[in-house]
Copies of this chain bind each other. A is one copy, B any other.
């Protein structure tokens, strides 16, 4: 009788990802070796960066191997410990397997998580890596000045919604786009963005950005790439900054390619990529700032919590189709007492 369930990555997708890239399997309970801990995972985070890991590309993180157990940011509780610094009941956050139970060697990105009073899921959500990504990208790369125009693509997403609100806190005029009218209403009416538009229903990105950013764009928090990035580049202002956080439009299809690159020269643009894992040293500063902003009501957030490990493939596919709203989490087991 199996006591564990895992999700394997079984096929590299061609174009759009569907559930056939994954297999949900029963498995035996793993046994902790010396120096290891046995974890019962209870929350998992689903994120856009998982798509490029499904491709055999040279990237900052090794591609998923076909046949391996999927992994991603998660939170688990120690069930059994053969590591001197961990005891049953300790909660850890790190790169965890898509598994109900797993063994792990703590260290690296895997750390004990001490709750400061927030709900456990918030440590993967509004206090987690996606929000840190927004904070690092905007402050370190974007360096916003009050009065500048910030455009955020995928503005209702886990990263975009936080980037947009930090932009408001820093005095920017913030314009966002998303793919449904209820997301747009939320951006405008609840998050207080200066303008927001539904990229699926506007005549074109060009006309939408021309209407909502009539004086051009100083800072672009880029999550999408493709046509979106082209429209941004075509109206970036002198000394503009393009924060390259993601390019979700490229993950599934090749796209048309970015033209009129000369504008990077003529407008003295800085287009810069970053990976949040190189900036985990900013986590304490970020946590302190975010905790304050949450307390003052300056940052609001939405999340979608899916229940059950067996729903993870479907939820991830939905993420790439823009079906979720805010941060996407999966509850794979009960929270510890």
Hey, which bits of chain A sit against chain B, CB under 8 A? 52, 57-60, 225, 229, 238, 244-247, 250-251, 254-275, 278
Copies in the complex: 2
Q: Closest approach, in angstroms, between the C-beta of A163 and any C-beta of chain B?
A: 14
Q: Is the CB of A225 within 8 A of B271?
A: no
Q: Which residue of B lies closest to A269 (CB)?
A: B273
Q: Is the CB of B273 within 8 A of A264?
A: yes
Q: Is the CB of A275 within 8 A of B264?
A: no
Query: Which among A229, A247, A256, A261 has the highest number of chain B CB atoms within 10 Å?
Result: A261
Given contacts A238-B60, A244-B261, contact A273 B278 (CB under 8 A): no
Given contacts A257-B258, A258-B258, A261-B247, contact A270 B268 (CB under 8 A): no
Complex interface: chain B residues within 8 A of A247 (CB): 261-262, 265
Q: Is the CB of A266 within 8 A of B275?
A: yes
> In the docked arrangement, what's the CA distance between A291 and B12, Å?
57
Q: Is the CB of A261 within 8 A of B269?
A: no
The residue from B60, B259, B260, B268 contacting A273, defined by CB atoms under 8 A apart: B268
Complex interface: chain B residues within 8 A of A229 (CB): 261
Query: Which among A52, A265, A270, A272 has the highest number of chain B CB atoms within 10 Å?
Result: A265
Q: Is the CB of B268 within 8 A of A278?
A: yes
Complex interface: chain B residues within 8 A of A273 (CB): 263-270
